[in-house]
Structure 1
Amino acid sequence: MATVENDELSPTSPIDESDTGILSGPNPEPGLNGAPVRWYDADRKEPYTRITPFAEKHDPAVEFFFKPITLTALGLALTALAYIAMSSDVLEEGRDKSRWGVYAAVSAFLLFTMLHARDGPFIRPHPAFWRIVLGINLLYVLGMVFLLFQDLPSARQMMTFLDPSLGVPLDERSYAEDCTLTPTVLWNAIDIFCLAHALGWFGKALILRDYWFCWILSIAFELAEYSLQHQLPNFAECWWDHWLLDVLICNWIGTYLGMKTCSYFEVKHYTWRTFRQSRGLKSKGKRVLGQFSPHDWTTFQWEGTSSFRNYLVVVGLLAVFLMAELNPFYLKSLLWMEPSHPFVIARLAGVFLCALPAVRELYQYVSDPRKAVRMGQHAWLLIATICTELLCIIKWGQGQFTEPFPSHIRVFLSIGAFLLVLYPSVRFGVPSARRYLVKHGRDKRSKIS
């Protein structure tokens, strides 16, 4: 790899020997007057405004994807809809015509959200992608609201409309049958779920972007499994499965790799070159792949102990994450779905995609309330989704989980709740009361004098 002295090239953009051609046009100056522009620095009238990347608007090859094409999309959608709805050849291929109607309705809804929903904090790979994610989340929460008004047998029956193989009771498996710590037992305990643990915590690290938060959440989830194993047998695991295999190996590997990825994006020099200004096929290919990487990166500093407001936000976010982690275990148990069922995997992947912009919006809402005057749409909808799932679990779980909480679990939960209240009382309440008394005493002395 060789470098060429050229004033039009960024010092961080090396040129490959295989690259040919010359740059077309001068390299645009990044940002405004040389200062980088981020989406939350904009002077906006609404909490979120559309930020067009400064490089793309100089490149007609990329600018096309940021132009509104609402009428064109409407015409193409109506053409496809008319062809499918009025062509008997197409409809005869499907056994259930109502299924085609549902698919068409969902597609029309997602098309509307893609074209007209408000933009969120992310602009890569394209704002329309995150609008579709928002639309899918809205469809899911609407489905959960509908199921909330059904009893458990009816909900199970309705799930068979989506997948006829469902509706069969499952045998719950316990992972605490042989807890002797031997190489053979440890090797037999390694399965596909270990990889799922690592991938899951890699994603959580990208969402939360904080080591301590991930560690607290990892330990809290294992404690939640201890507390709820009397309801779900698959929460019963050996001690070494909880703390060695899960926390110290799988979760740590995923968190470490995720935080290393965050560190890379944090220190990366973001100099976006247009497609036409990229030299050669190799550089153009890198530019295309770069469209699927972040446009910029914001490091999260939650600072849960700096103020009472931040403490409430961190505890609330921790509770929401725990609910998001526990809900699929209860839903698959109540609705009789295997852990490897596509619906379960799709739910986990969907929550991950929704949580990426949602936590970013929540962080902006907490850290800069003057600009983010209301909570973002992704954050609001994701909280509504998780809480709706919890309501379904509470309703359907009546009569299903009859075994009461063991006494030691109730004592443990009571101590945890007491500490959650005690810490902010000592950390924030006592100093505030002391300042109030001092100020009140000064006012009294000033009145007397």
Structure 2
Amino acid sequence: MQSFSAEEDDNLSPVSPVEESDNPPSVTEPEPEPGLNGNPVHWYDADRTESYTRIEPFQETQDTSVEFFFKPITLTALAIGLAALGYVATTQDVLEEGRDKRRVGTYAAISGFLLFSMIQFRDGPFIRPHPAFWRVVLGVNLLYELALVFLLFQDLQSARVMMTYMDPKLGVPLPEKSYAENCALTTQNIWNSLDIFCLAHALGWFGKALILRDYWFCWILSIAFEFAEYSLQHQLANFAECWWDHWILDVLICNWLGTYLGMKACEYFEVKHYTWRGFRQSRGIRSKTKRVFTQFSPHDFTAFHWHGTQSFLHYVTVVMLLAVFLAAELHPFYLKSLLWMEPDHPFVIARLAGVFCCALPAVRELYQYINDPRRAVRMGQHVWLLLATIGTELLVIVKWSQGQFPEPLPTAVRYSWTVGAALLVLYPTVRFGVPSARRYLRRHSRKPKRKVQ
């Protein structure tokens, strides 16, 4: 009889399966214990990885400080919401029928949409203070985008009338104000220029530093915005400022101070040792109170290294992000000028705060998309919606600006932006295009040529 080795036997096809009844088990297997390996299974132990994003809702597995707030209570929230709607809408105890209920009905529709957003939207990259908070932020951004789309189909006069429905004080033309009337570099002029907007500048750049997390990025954006003000002061009078207002007050004092403090905060969060204990594991009132307050701090912190000259993808991403932030900075000035809103109007402040809250997770998603493509297989929802919002704002401004700014673009500004655009195209051509072309030609020149017979 021919014998086979173990290696040859492995290559043979398997034999026909035998019935389980042919070889009954000699020992009865014990009944499996409930749970996983004898341990009870909790709701946060489930594998809920979303295949289409490969993002695991890790707040369910890593952050159970107060377990109640991380349990799915969608039906409970639905019941409470319907009960509140029914009581306010069908009774006369809270509001009388008529204009008040029409106004409150609009707020109720918005609240219902945000409730759905809080419960059903996908999780973003942040889990603090709670993932539901960032879902609501995404919902507010979506509502703003829908409002912009609606306004895009209205003429400017109709839009101004609609704004009076939300605030009757609007609808009044704004006086043009220039900051370049007395540009003598004196202590008195500088002191007179210090106002609440200087603090707003510093706070704004503190937030931008938290979003971008890069000194060079913030410096380039700060200088680019001042050049944009020079370029557009023929359209908006409040862009006309003294040279020392541009470069001393804005760039060197307010913007630098906000950026410096913001980057120091980023450095603190970066080196901070993150060890999270649950609320139940904290002992004592002081420890539990501290745990509640730390819920509003980051769960972890990622330092951004954009490497704008590393590859063509990084370069395009950095330039695109700079353009988006520059547009987001300029759009409020045009919108408040076209819709006749003061700079300190609550709508303007709400728009600035909303863009900050939306940009914070959006930039995190964009950074993860270009640096960790294995985990982020597509661009995140916050990035997509932020780009849609900035793009729709641009369309609205372009449409409403027709006939509002009759003065043509100065020749010097046109030439300056042409040179700047040419440099933005020339640099990646020399840095990435030429070396790639050389490598391509070198590879093809080394291939042996076929001999003709």
Class of the TM-score when normalised by the shorter of the 2 chains: 0.7 to 0.9
1:397 aligns with one of 381, 398, 401:
401
Correspondence for 2:30: none
Question: Do structure 1's residue 316 and structure 2's residue 281 form an aligned pair?
Answer: no
Structure number with greater CO (CA < 8 Å, separation at least 6) is 1
Instruction: Provide the rounded CA distance (Å) in 1 between the counterparts of 2:177 and 2:129.
Output: 41
Instruction: Provide the rounded CA distance (Å) in 2 between the counterparts of 1:304 and 1:183.
Output: 40
Tell whether the 8 Å contact from 1:55 to 1:274 is kept in structure 2 after alignment.
no
Question: Do structure 1's residue 52 and structure 2's residue 83 form an aligned pair?
Answer: no
Instruction: Provide the rounded CA distance (Å) in 2 between the counterparts of 1:208 and 1:53.
Output: 28
Letter in 1 for 2:317: V
Gaps of 5+ in 2: 1-47
Correspondence for 2:93: 89
1:162 aligns with one of 159, 166, 176:
166
Instruction: Provide the rounded CA distance (Å) in 1 between the counterparts of 2:382 and 2:419.
Output: 34
Instruction: Provide the rounded CA distance (Å) in 1 between the counterparts of 2:160 and 2:449.
Output: 71
What's the TM-score, normalizing by structure 2?
Answer: 0.87
Letter in 2 for 1:102: T
Deviations 1:328-381 (CA, angstroms, capped at 9, x unpaired): 000000000000000000000000001111111111111122321111111100
Question: Do structure 1's residue 241 and structure 2's residue 245 form an aligned pair?
Answer: yes
Instruction: Provide the rounded CA distance (Å) in 2 between the counterparts of 1:94 and 1:72.
Output: 31
Instruction: Provide the rounded CA distance (Å) in 2 between the counterparts of 1:179 and 1:252.
Output: 22
Instruction: Provide the rounded CA distance (Å) in 1 between the counterparts of 2:197 and 2:97.
Output: 38
Question: Do structure 1's residue 126 and structure 2's residue 130 form an aligned pair?
Answer: yes
Deviations 1:200-228 (CA, angstroms, capped at 9, x unpaired): 00000000011110000000000000000
Q: What are the within-5 Å matches in structure 2 for residues 20-35 of structure 1?
A: none
How far 1:56 sits from its partner (Å)? 3.9
Q: What are the within-5 Å matches in structure 2 for residues 6-405 of structure 1?
A: 45-47=51-53, 48-52=55-59, 54=61, 56-57=63-64, 62-92=66-96, 95-405=99-409
What's the TM-score, normalizing by structure 1?
Answer: 0.88
Correspondence for 1:8: none
Deviations 1:212-271 (CA, angstroms, capped at 9, x unpaired): 100000000000000000000000000000000000000000000000000001000000
Letter in 1 for 2:185: L
SS in 1 for 2:316: helix
Cα 1:55–1:116 shift into 2, 3 Å: closer
Instruction: Provide the rounded CA distance (Å) in 2 between the counterparts of 1:427 and 1:313.
Output: 15
Tell whether the 8 Å contact from 1:362 to 1:375 is kept in structure 2 after alignment.
yes
SS in 2 for 1:89: coil
How far 1:447 sits from its partner (Å)? 4.3
Tell whether the 8 Å contact from 2:137 to 2:358 is kept in structure 1 after alignment.
yes
SS in 2 for 1:91: coil
Q: Which runs of 4+ in 1 moved over 6 A?
A: none
Instruction: Provide the rounded CA distance (Å) in 1 between the counterparts of 2:171 and 2:344.
Output: 15
Letter in 1 for 2:308: G
Deviations 1:256-312 (CA, angstroms, capped at 9, x unpaired): 000000000100000001112223222211110100000001111111100111111
Q: Percent identity?
A: 73
Tell whether the 8 Å contact from 1:202 to 1:257 is kept in structure 2 after alignment.
yes
Cα 1:261–1:93 shift into 2, 3 Å: farther
Deviations 1:111-143 (CA, angstroms, capped at 9, x unpaired): 001000000000000000000000000000000
Letter in 1 for 2:208: K
Instruction: Provide the rounded CA distance (Å) in 2 between the counterparts of 1:447 and 1:337.
Output: 74
Letter in 1 for 2:373: P
Q: Which protein is bigger by CA-based radius of gyration?
A: 2
The count of corresponding residues between Structure 1 and Structure 2 is 404
Tell whether the 8 Å contact from 1:174 to 1:233 is kept in structure 2 after alignment.
yes
Question: Do structure 1's residue 427 and structure 2's residue 431 form an aligned pair?
Answer: yes
